[in-house]
Amino acid sequence: MPEPAILGGIIHASLVRTEPGIVYRKGPSDRVTIGEFGQPSSERAKKIVDAFAGGGSNARLSADISGDIWRKFAFIVPMGIACGLSRQPMGPVLASESGRRILTDSLREVVMVARAAAGRLDDGDEIRVRDELFGIGPAIKPSFLLDLERGGPTELDLLAGTVRRLGREHGVPTPVANLATAAFEVALGGS
């Protein structure tokens, strides 16, 4: 568990880093979620949420920031893997039975790893995340795919690599994350 002085936070937004230090906001909607680790809320977290809201952001206080972080992770990893492997935005991935299978199998791995590693995510979370993934607009490209297209550094180690590592650590099979990580490492010239 993080230090008591640390608050958890998540940003849901469509952002692209176009060059070092420059981030472009691709869509008008965003959401900031702030919460305490290990407790439902606090005055300091509420003050930060109020500050974001006062600045015009859609902000909310989380009663379960650890679960929210796992749910976001369960959303971005499958999308990054499926779009990264296919080098396609979500439309072609969702239009293909194979693409939908990659999404659902990858999501299942993240859910199983989350349960083993942190006691998080249940069947309802898995269904909700799957429905969100299957409802994404066809032109959407995750940041992982954008990084691949740009030829810059990627979040491979933080996304599929984390699923693979935690799977090994907790005895959870992660064949999709293993294969994707190996394929990307070969393609990117890594180890």
**Residue 34 has what pLDDT?**
95
Tell me the three state secondary structure of residue 6. coil
* Segment 36-80, tens digit of pLDDT: 998 878 899 999 999 999 988 899 999 999 999 999 999 999 999
Is the pLDDT score of 19 beyond 70? yes
Percent of the chain whose pLDDT exceeds 70: 96
Distance between alpha carbon 32 and the CA centroid of its chain, in Å? 14
**Residue 12 has what pLDDT?**
84
Distance between alpha carbon 60 and the CA centroid of its chain, in Å? 18
Over range 95-106, report the average pLDDT: 98
Using N-to-C axis directions, what is the helix angle for 123-134 and 97-118, rounded to 10°? 150
**Residue 27 has what pLDDT?**
67
- In the chain, domain spans: 7-63, 66-188
How far CA 159 is from CA of 6, 35, 124, in Å, comes to 22, 22, 22
**Residue 191 has what pLDDT?**
54
Instruction: List the helix and strand counts (H, then E) for the chain.
Output: 8, 3
The more confidently predicted of residues 162 and 20 is: 162
**Residue 1 has what pLDDT?**
55
Is the pLDDT score of 2 beyond 70? no
**Residue 190 has what pLDDT?**
66
| Whole-number Å distance between alpha carbons of 50 and 48 | 5
Over range 83-103, report the average pLDDT: 97
**Residue 28 has what pLDDT?**
65
Domain 66-188: CATH superfamily is N-(1-d-carboxylethyl)-l-norvaline Dehydrogenase; domain 2 (1.10.1040.10)
